[in-house]
């Protein structure tokens, strides 16, 4: 099996639980980014299955290291993707979460956004709301929101991969120019119940530490967030008995177990 080393430690796993995302800036090689700039918009399969895409993006040691840390050893490697390509100026999407966003506290799915080209504020960056991944609501109920305190525009250098909890609220932000803005979106899935097998200083499981309130969170929701975080932490550490369907329910994504991937 291709060797993938975990890269996150206890603290970084807890930060991911709290924020619902992690960004790896400028990790993909410049030449490969340039190749991806001419990829057409829409559903992608053949390109995603190439050794080149796997080596440069899907199994890049930093990207796969995060996946290995959060989804365990034999995760499903994406076999399809969607290229969200915008050219004309537009007003931006409305806030939403995607597809069949999962219930439950386990981390079984990572949805990733890869930006082959740098994204500036006028290019219509993806916007996310850190910490929103447990707020499962009807899409229509959040679509009318404008700016939300704490929202983040992913203005990023070329070759950045943002890795998110599937349920995180997000949208494409308003775009002011006619330049190409691409984002290739793909998902990894868990196949086995978790244990604490990321980077560890000791075998003793440290308690969950709540990182405090996101800017839009008030008192009661804050202790709900703390509790949700604790439940996810315990689940990831193998302390919770709650079983989740593995791999989780998928709507349009597909994957191949890491143990079955062969690179030429």
Ligand X SMILES: O=C(O)CCC(=O)C(=O)O
Interacting residue ranges for ligand X, rule: CB under 6 A: 84, 98, 126, 170, 172, 183
Picked from ligand X, Fe ion, none, the partner binding residue 163 (CB below 5 to 8 A depending on kind) is none
| C-alpha to C-alpha distances, 223 to 9, 11, 218, 219, 226, nearest whole angstrom | 24, 19, 9, 7, 5
Shortest distance in whole angstroms from residue 263 CB to Fe ion: 30
Q: What's the chain's length in residues?
A: 264
Cβ-based nearer residue to Fe ion, 98 or 123? 98
Judging by DSSP bridges, how do beta strands 21-24 and 152-153 pair with one another?
unpaired
DSSP one-letter code for 134: G
**Which of 20, 44, 53, 98 is close enough to bind Fe ion by CB under 5 A?**
98
Cβ-based nearer residue to ligand X, 4 or 163? 163
Contact between 113 and Fe ion (CB under 5 A)? no
What distance in Å separates the CA atoms of residue 169 and residue 36, rounded to the nearest whole number?
A: 26
- Size, binding site for Fe ion by CB under 5 A: 1
DSSP one-letter code for 75: P
What distance in Å separates the CA atoms of residue 145 and residue 95, rounded to the nearest whole number?
A: 7
Cβ-based nearer residue to ligand X, 58 or 183? 183
Cβ-based nearer residue to ligand X, 8 or 168? 168
Picked from Fe ion, ligand X, none, the partner binding residue 228 (CB below 5 to 8 A depending on kind) is none
Q: Which residue is nearest to Fe ion (CB)?
A: 98
Report yes or no: 125 and 131 within 8 Å, Cβ to Cβ: no
Residues near Fe ion (CB under 5 A) are 98
């Amino acid at each position: 099996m291709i060797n993938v080393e975990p890269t996150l430690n206890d603290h970084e796993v807890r930060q991911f639980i709290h924020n619902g995302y992690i960004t790896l800036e400028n990790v993909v090689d410049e030449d490969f980014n340039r190749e991806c700039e001419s990829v057409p918009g829409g559903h992608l399969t053949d390109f995603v299955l190439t050794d080149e895409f796997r080596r440069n993006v899907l199994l890049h040691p930093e990207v796969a290291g995060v996946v290995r840390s959060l989804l365990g050893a034999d995760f499903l490697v994406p076999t399809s993707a969607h290229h969200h390509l915008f050219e004309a100026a537009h007003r931006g999407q409305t806030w939403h979460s995607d597809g069949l966003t999962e219930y439950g506290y386990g981390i079984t799915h990572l949805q990733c956004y890869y930006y082959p080209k740098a994204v500036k504020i006028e290019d219509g960056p993806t916007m996310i709301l850190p910490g929103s991944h447990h707020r499962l609501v009807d899409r229509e109920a959040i679509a009318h929101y404008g700016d939300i305190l704490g929202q983040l525009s992913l203005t990023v250098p070329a070759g950045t991969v943002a890795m998110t909890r599937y349920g995180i609220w997000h949208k494409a932000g308003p775009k002011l120019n006619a330049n190409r803005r691409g984002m290739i979106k793909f998902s990894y899935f868990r196949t086995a119940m978790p244990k604490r097998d990321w980077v560890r200083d000791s075998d003793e499981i440290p308690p969950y530490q709540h990182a405090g309130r996101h800017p839009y969170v008030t008192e009661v929701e804050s202790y709900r967030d703390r509790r949700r975080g604790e439940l996810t932490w315990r689940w990831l550490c193998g302390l919770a008995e709650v079983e989740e369907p593995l791999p989780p329910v998928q709507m349009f994504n597909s994957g191949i177990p890491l143990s079955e991937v062969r690179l030429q």
